[in-house]
């Protein structure tokens, strides 16, 4: 029997904690960049589950890898070795230049691990440091540590008191950053491109001021690449494109291409100060997560996906700028690769249902920004079709 949207909504309203304001659609299946609702209506997906489904939906190779792993062995815990965790850590080391990985299950856990490792580093050196410098408009996740370095009061206030000693400075304000970082700073944390904050890339000049402030004070640098990392911008990591020199990098989202997995990538200097038992996770880096992530990295590097994002990203940008130029409510177009934001002169919320009516999935963030994070496998023809639908949606405002 077909379950209607009404049935789903009624059941959820009774039993699911009401923390999400969902769009009134039930997606039941996908294929590539296409999603299908319960009635079989087809949508083009320019969001990929907030930057997760990097290989598109129902990717046959990924499905086979997951199924094969499920038939073999899914989970044994971190009390034992398995063959895949080291392989995945090595691949990530080659991609990032950071030689060690700690595996967890989400973006916020990856940030949490970076914050803990920064504290542990200073504790091991016998000079504990309690301060963190973060950026305005940052988003690092919802657990207490990550929330403490997330700037938006709306997320923070109901959960006070948060970690003390966090100072926020405006992104791309070199003077403010330099003034805030001191010999008491344990770490500076930045998103190389702020995602939830409205798709705002840091400038290379600001990145060099961050490097300088960290070098001078000894503060560790954490680059949060949960949204911008792993090919999304056409680079393996956007920190490298900016010239940032992080000691710790948080990743998540696309890493498992839909299977929940995150990681903290760690310099040898920091890793040398971490001891057995300092941190852990029951699920972190289990066989299923590692198998999915290895498959994704094979596609990203060996399969040429990063180069594809570079090419399609340039085409996407051109088309997006042409669409934006037709609508006077669009103030700015920001982004890189396949990570884009359209800053509107007004609240962007009505764009989402207008786009859904035209069968294209987009997202609004930071009140006034339409955010686009399509699957990395998007083709130029799919980009053209999806952006012409978005054009129609913007025309209704």
Residues that bind ligand PLP (CB under 6 A): 106-108, 111, 139-141, 191, 195-196, 224, 226-227, 252
Q: Closest separation between CB of residue 259 and ligand PLP, Å?
A: 12
Asked if residues 342 and 369 have their Cβ atoms less than 8 Å apart, the reply is yes
Closest to ligand PLP by CB, 251 vs 330, is 251
**Residue 20 and residue 160: Cα distance in Å, rounded?**
21
Closest to ligand PLP by CB, 133 vs 387, is 133
What's the residue count for the chain? 397
Task: Tell me the residue number closest to ligand PLP, measured at CB.
Answer: 107
Nearest to 146 by CA among 168, 113, 195, 170: 113
Asked if residues 111 and 142 have their Cβ atoms less than 8 Å apart, the reply is no
Q: Closest separation between CB of residue 227 and ligand PLP, Å?
A: 4
Nearest to 101 by CA among 268, 343, 221: 268
Q: Closest separation between CB of residue 281 and ligand PLP, Å?
A: 13
Closest to ligand PLP by CB, 134 vs 271, is 134
Closest to ligand PLP by CB, 196 vs 299, is 196
- Strand-pair partners of 20: none
Q: Closest separation between CB of residue 81 and ligand PLP, Å?
A: 27
Q: Closest separation between CB of residue 202 and ligand PLP, Å?
A: 12
Burial class (CB in 10 A: 0-12, 13-18, 19+), 381: exposed
Q: Closest separation between CB of residue 225 and ligand PLP, Å?
A: 7
Nearest to 51 by CA among 105, 91, 96, 107: 107
Beta strand 200-201 with 193-194: parallel, antiparallel or unpaired?
antiparallel
Closest to ligand PLP by CB, 108 vs 148, is 108
Scanning the structure block, which residue is given the tokens 């008491």? Answer: 184
Q: Closest separation between CB of residue 395 and ligand PLP, Å?
A: 29
Cis ω before 124 (30° cut-off from 0): no
Q: Closest separation between CB of residue 5 and ligand PLP, Å?
A: 25
**Residue 393 and residue 358: Cα distance in Å, rounded?**
7
Closest to ligand PLP by CB, 44 vs 226, is 226
Beta strand 27-31 with 330-336: parallel, antiparallel or unpaired?
unpaired
Closest to ligand PLP by CB, 147 vs 181, is 147
Closest to ligand PLP by CB, 30 vs 195, is 195
Output the CA angle 130-238-275, nearest 5 degrees. 40
Query: Containing H/E element for 371?
Result: strand 369-372
């Amino acid at each position: 029997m077909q379950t209607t949207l009404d049935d789903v909504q009624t059941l959820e309203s009774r039993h699911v904690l009401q923390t999400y304001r969902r769009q009134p659609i039930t997606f039941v299946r996908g294929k590539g960049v296409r999603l299908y609702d319960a009635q079989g209506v087809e949508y083009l997906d320019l969001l990929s589950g907030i930057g997760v489904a990097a290989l598109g939906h129902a990717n046959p190779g990924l499905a086979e890898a997951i199924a094969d792993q499920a038939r073999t062995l899914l989970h044994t815990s971190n009390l034992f070795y398995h063959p895949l965790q080291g392989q995945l850590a090595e691949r990530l080391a080659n991609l990032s230049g950071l030689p060690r990985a700690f595996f967890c299950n989400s973006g916020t856990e990856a940030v949490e691990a970076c914050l803990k490792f920064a504290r542990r580093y200073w504790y091991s050196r016998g000079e504990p440091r309690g301060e963190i410098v973060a950026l305005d408009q940052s988003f690092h996740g919802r657990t207490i540590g990550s929330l403490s370095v997330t700037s938006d009061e709306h997320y923070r206030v109901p959960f006070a008191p948060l970690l003390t000693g966090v100072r926020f400075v405006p992104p791309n304000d070199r003077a403010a950053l330099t003034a805030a970082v001191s010999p008491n700073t344990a770490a500076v944390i930045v998103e190389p491109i702020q995602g939830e904050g409205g798709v705002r890339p840091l400038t290379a000049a600001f990145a060099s001021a961050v490097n300088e402030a960290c070098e001078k004070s000894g503060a560790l640098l954490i680059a949060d690449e949960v949204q911008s990392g792993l090919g999304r911008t056409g680079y393996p990591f956007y920190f490298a494109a900016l010239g940032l020199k992080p000691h710790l990098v948080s990743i998540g989202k696309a890493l498992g291409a839909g299977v929940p997995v995150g990681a903290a990538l760690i310099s040898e200097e920091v890793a040398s100060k971490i001891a057995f038992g300092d941190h852990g996770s029951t699920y972190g880096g289990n066989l299923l997560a590692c198998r999915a992530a290895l498959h994704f990295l094979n596609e990203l590097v060996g399969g040429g996906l990063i180069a594809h994002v570079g090419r399609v990203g340039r085409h996407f940008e051109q088309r997006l700028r042409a669409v934006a130029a037709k609508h006077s409510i669009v103030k700015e177009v920001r982004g890189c690769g396949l990570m884009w934001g359209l800053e509107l002169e007004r609240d962007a919320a009505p764009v989402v249902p207008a786009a859904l009516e035209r069968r294209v999935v987009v997202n609004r963030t930071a009140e006034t920004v339409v955010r686009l994070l399509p699957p990395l496998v998007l083709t130029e023809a799919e980009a053209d079709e999806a952006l012409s639908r978005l054009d129609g949606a913007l025309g209704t405002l």
